[in-house]
Structure 1
Amino acid sequence: MADRTTHPGPSVDARHLDALADDEVVRFTADLIRHDTTNRGGGDGVERPAAEYVAAALAEVGIEPVIVEKAPGRTNVVARVAGTDPGADALLVHGHLDVVPADATEWSVPPFAGEIVDDVVWGRGAVDMKGSDAMALTVVRAWARAGVRPRRDIVLAFTADEEDTGEFGAGHLVRNRPELFEGCTEAVGESGAYTFHAAGGRRFYPVAAAERGTSWLTLTARGRAGHGSKINHANAVTRLSAAVNRIGEHAWPVRLTATVRAALTELAAAHGLPLPDLDATDQVELARGVDALLDALGPAAGLVAGTVRDSANPTMLNAGYKVNVIPGSATAHVDGRVLPGGDRDFAATLDRLTGPDVDWEYLHHEIPLEAPLDAPTYAVLADALRHFDPDAHVVPYCMTGGTDAKQFSRLGLTAYGFMPLRLPEGFDYQAMFHGVDERVPVAALRFGIRVLDRALLAI
């Protein structure tokens, strides 16, 4: 293993992040938004226009891009910036180019116009995550112009299909082009290090060190088909509805991972609140203590409330074809999210909740992740934030959902979510994800390139 001590590097004054970089990060964000890379799932998406834009921007400053496609239009871009220490492990910086759909009739501005209004960039992908792609692109271009080199090789990956299964994106790269990530041991990607405003003027910056696993499920109920006017005790719709209701109403037990435990501890300390017994073996006592702390934390509870338990939310139903016909089968889909170490208990719970008349299977199953909080890399990321915001409270964070880090973990990489943004009070970052009127302040992007620059040069 290569030396992992912290090296401050040449980022102390960051003079290479000049007015041109400030302009580029805004322009790149807006331009990438203007490339409609909507991912509708099931293979329906085209990232190539944005990928070609990124590849051209890299090539312009002498960084050679590699274009990889599993299918026409589902385009990934990978590039490597050589470090000064050939014996050091490489670092992956990844971001996705696809976005979720946007209904233009619901938006205040056209979602793919990339408009800049009152120093705010509007459009689908501004936060998730073309603004972050633009930050990474801006930083490495500034390095190239100024002759700055990181200590470690930096591998850049701009991926397709993250908003679905990753089959055309990171999953394809990991399975078929692993040599592009040779030497990488750690990864930095979405979506942490944004400002979370809490009570008392506190500014928290959650750095993601864990992700819940993805367990998308298909439920199938079978019964006896028949006329809608007849009594039918083997009605597939009734059986499915009962199972879906049990799943939706289920109270999942509290289960604390190392990351969530650390987050609760630091949030309680920052608010001057007593810490409950997080080692309580009695589930009722543990749940009572954790829920009481979450209530006391006020807005800051939003950083952890979704990750103290597993979850399973019914999302889709499909049954029947005519109002007077009882169908022989009915299906539903459930979005399950599982904390590290909980797959077995989750499956056992689903067996019990679905019962004997409903079968279930994984539609898509991805592993949970957890990275060490005592690693030098986590310390560097936290220090970079505090350097540019001395009043920052940096806390570890477990994502409720998942990212491409799950795919890259199959190459043995340890992943952190770190795409820094300093956001004004009242700006709801989480609501921007997949939401209407997604947008990002220009000042947040310019703050982000400075923090990201310092961190990548110091890791």
Structure 2
Amino acid sequence: MADRTVPGAPGGDWAVVDDEVVRFTSELIRIDTTNRGGGDGRERPAAEYVAERLSDAGLRPRILESAPGRANVVARVAGSDPSAPGLLLHGHLDVVPADPALWSVPPFSGEVRDGMVWGRGALDMKNAVAMTLALVRAWARTGRRPRRDVVLAFTADEEDSAAYGAEWLVREHADLFEGCTEGVSESGGYTHHARSVTGRPVRLYPVAAGERGTAWLRLTAHGTAGHGSRSNTDNAVGALAEAVARIHAHRWPVRLTPVTRAAITEIGAAMGVKVDLDAPGFVVERDLDPLLERLDPTGQLIAGTVRNSANPTMLAAGYKVNVIPESASAGVDGRVLPGAAAEFEQTLDRLTGPAVEWAYQHRSQPLVSPVESPTFAAMRSALLAHDPEGHVVPVCLNGGTDAKQFAALGITGYGFTPLRLPPDLDYGTLFHGVDERVPVDALRFGARVLDRFLTSAG
């Protein structure tokens, strides 16, 4: 049973936090903020919900609309040390679509049963928004304050391009983030269960200290239109298909960033596997994949971040089966490691060839954050205070978060939404998956860890 008191606060206040973090998660899930992409989304009702609860805590939240219905909320919690740099705590209000026919419960019900809160956004990431709201309200009741100013940002459109959310805030309201040097958000601090080489259970807590950059591409081939029955060597569909096949088959070379090197070493140590990437005779291109297989399933935390990637995802061509079209197009989801952008572009030029053009549809920079920083140390300390037998390890994310947008303001980003999860809950498949849910106990654990981090981070 977790401690029910807040250090330095009147006894019993954690009982209120425990109730609110569950209730707020459930109520936020019930507000359908589905983002279908291309501008089709509406976060305003959730923004109003958040702003009301922040106002109840004595803050002055601002609701900022980038377009009708596309709302963001920003508020500042004053720290006890005005000379300390500010910390950005951000989370998104939108969620990906959910097909009710596939779910065991209605995806926007926010149902609480079997010790879980069910629904779209339970993990990604209305749980984190609820934790933040509950903690800020607890601070207001008890008079506690973080040492650093904490800027809260709840954003729209993270599940698409961030054009209506963090990207717009950075461009139009940069002054709201003045003084913030670091930011914390999703995709880190959750339990990843593994076993050591001796079979001993190991609890890892990966904290994101980097992200691959986003490179969404559009490929276009042009050819000569004609009748489908006639020979045509200038066929746009054929040229595009060949380029897509080459991209699909390409094996990208290994490129290890400092964060990924640290991740491999620290995960190996936690699992009892000796790792020396600089050992004589260790050839990264040859020996890394077998090493990651030895670390499975934990190796999957790393495997997607040792290379660039480019996955074909969309095809469009033609309007009738007996007509050769004059053009054809494809969509490719590319992800780029820090320092590997030039190699990515040169490789795409070669793989697409002279008959196919490619261009960026959406692009965001890769990130690397220091794992030796006081902020990372504070996250590690907060987790270990509540799970002393855990192992906190840095990782680079396969995908991306709003941290990429805030990086344009010089804000270093980390992924840290702490949750202690049971071994039988597959966190990875529930993200954007069917029957998304979060344990009630995990929410309460996360609130305690986040509170310790935010009130101690230097």
Coarse TM-score class (shorter-chain normalised): over 0.9
How do 1:161-240 residues align onto structure 2 when only pairs under 5 Å count?
A: 161-199=157-195, 200-240=200-240
Q: Does 1:84 align with 2:69?
A: no
User: Which secondary structure state, in structure 1, belongs to the residue aligned with residue 296 of structure 2?
Assistant: helix
Match of 1:356 in 2: 354
- The 2-side partners of 1:445 and 1:68 are apart by 28
Distance 1:107 1:131, change over 3 A: same
1:369 aligned partner, one-letter code: L
Asked if structure 2 preserves the Cα contact closer than 8 Å seen for 1:166 and 1:172, the reply is yes
Asked if structure 2 preserves the Cα contact closer than 8 Å seen for 1:124 and 1:438, the reply is yes
Asked if structure 1 preserves the Cα contact closer than 8 Å seen for 2:265 and 2:276, the reply is no
Q: Does 1:96 align with 2:98?
A: no
- The 2-side partners of 1:63 and 1:17 are apart by 19
Report the Cα offset of residue 273 of structure 1: 1.8
For normalisation by structure 2, the TM-score amounts to: 0.96
- The 2-side partners of 1:293 and 1:13 are apart by 47
User: Which secondary structure state, in structure 1, belongs to the residue aligned with residue 67 of structure 2?
Assistant: coil
Match of 1:377 in 2: 375
2:180 aligned partner, one-letter code: C
2:260 aligned partner, one-letter code: V
Q: Does 1:436 align with 2:455?
A: no
C-alpha deviations, 1:247-304, integer Å up to 9, x for none? Answer: 011101010000000000111112222325358899xx31221111101112111111
Report the Cα offset of residue 391 of structure 1: 0.7
Match of 1:135 among 125, 128, 131: 131
Match of 2:330 among 329, 332, 336: 332
How do 1:17-416 residues align onto structure 2 when only pairs under 5 Å count?
A: 17-199=13-195, 200-278=200-278, 285-416=283-414
Asked if structure 2 preserves the Cα contact closer than 8 Å seen for 1:17 and 1:139, the reply is no
Query: Unpaired runs of 5+ in structure 2?
Result: none
Distance 1:319 1:16, change over 3 A: farther
User: Which secondary structure state, in structure 2, belongs to the residue aligned with residue 39 of structure 1?
Assistant: coil
Match of 2:445 among 424, 444, 447: 447
C-alpha deviations, 1:17-39, integer Å up to 9, x for none? Answer: 51111000000000000000000
Aligned residues: 448
- The 2-side partners of 1:194 and 1:16 are apart by 26
Asked if structure 1 preserves the Cα contact closer than 8 Å seen for 2:307 and 2:337, the reply is yes
User: Which secondary structure state, in structure 2, belongs to the residue aligned with residue 380 of structure 1?
Assistant: helix
- The 1-side partners of 2:8 and 2:239 are apart by 65
- The 2-side partners of 1:22 and 1:167 are apart by 34
Distance 1:281 1:339, change over 3 A: farther
For normalisation by structure 1, the TM-score amounts to: 0.95
Asked if structure 2 preserves the Cα contact closer than 8 Å seen for 1:16 and 1:142, the reply is no
Asked if structure 2 preserves the Cα contact closer than 8 Å seen for 1:213 and 1:339, the reply is yes
Report the Cα offset of residue 12 of structure 1: 4.7
User: Which secondary structure state, in structure 2, belongs to the residue aligned with residue 300 of structure 1?
Assistant: coil
Regions of 4+ moved over 4 Å: 10-17, 278-282
- The 1-side partners of 2:377 and 2:12 are apart by 24
Asked if structure 2 preserves the Cα contact closer than 8 Å seen for 1:122 and 1:440, the reply is yes
- The 2-side partners of 1:127 and 1:274 are apart by 33
User: Which secondary structure state, in structure 2, belongs to the residue aligned with residue 397 of structure 1?
Assistant: strand
Report the Cα offset of residue 13 of structure 1: 6.3
- The 2-side partners of 1:185 and 1:134 are apart by 24
- The 2-side partners of 1:220 and 1:148 are apart by 57
1:378 aligned partner, one-letter code: F
Query: Unpaired runs of 5+ in structure 1?
Result: 1-9
C-alpha deviations, 1:97-118, integer Å up to 9, x for none? Answer: 0001111111111111111111
Asked if structure 2 preserves the Cα contact closer than 8 Å seen for 1:192 and 1:206, the reply is yes
1:124 aligned partner, one-letter code: R
C-alpha deviations, 1:301-355, integer Å up to 9, x for none? Answer: 1111110111110000000000100101000000000111111100000000001
Percent sequence identity over matched residues? 63
Distance 1:16 1:156, change over 3 A: farther
Match of 1:6 in 2: none
1:331 aligned partner, one-letter code: S
- The 1-side partners of 2:270 and 2:220 are apart by 47
1:31 aligned partner, one-letter code: E
C-alpha deviations, 1:160-200, integer Å up to 9, x for none? Answer: 00011111101111100111111111101111000000123
C-alpha deviations, 1:134-176, integer Å up to 9, x for none? Answer: 1111111110111111111111000000011111101111100
Asked if structure 1 preserves the Cα contact closer than 8 Å seen for 2:60 and 2:75, the reply is yes
- The 1-side partners of 2:293 and 2:146 are apart by 44
Asked if structure 1 preserves the Cα contact closer than 8 Å seen for 2:31 and 2:46, the reply is yes
C-alpha deviations, 1:61-90, integer Å up to 9, x for none? Answer: 211111101101000000011111111111
- The 2-side partners of 1:447 and 1:270 are apart by 22
Asked if structure 2 preserves the Cα contact closer than 8 Å seen for 1:263 and 1:396, the reply is yes
- The 2-side partners of 1:52 and 1:160 are apart by 12
- The 1-side partners of 2:75 and 2:330 are apart by 41
Asked if structure 2 preserves the Cα contact closer than 8 Å seen for 1:210 and 1:370, the reply is yes
1:326 aligned partner, one-letter code: I
Report the Cα offset of residue 11 of structure 1: 6.6
- The 2-side partners of 1:280 and 1:231 are apart by 57
- The 1-side partners of 2:452 and 2:32 are apart by 31
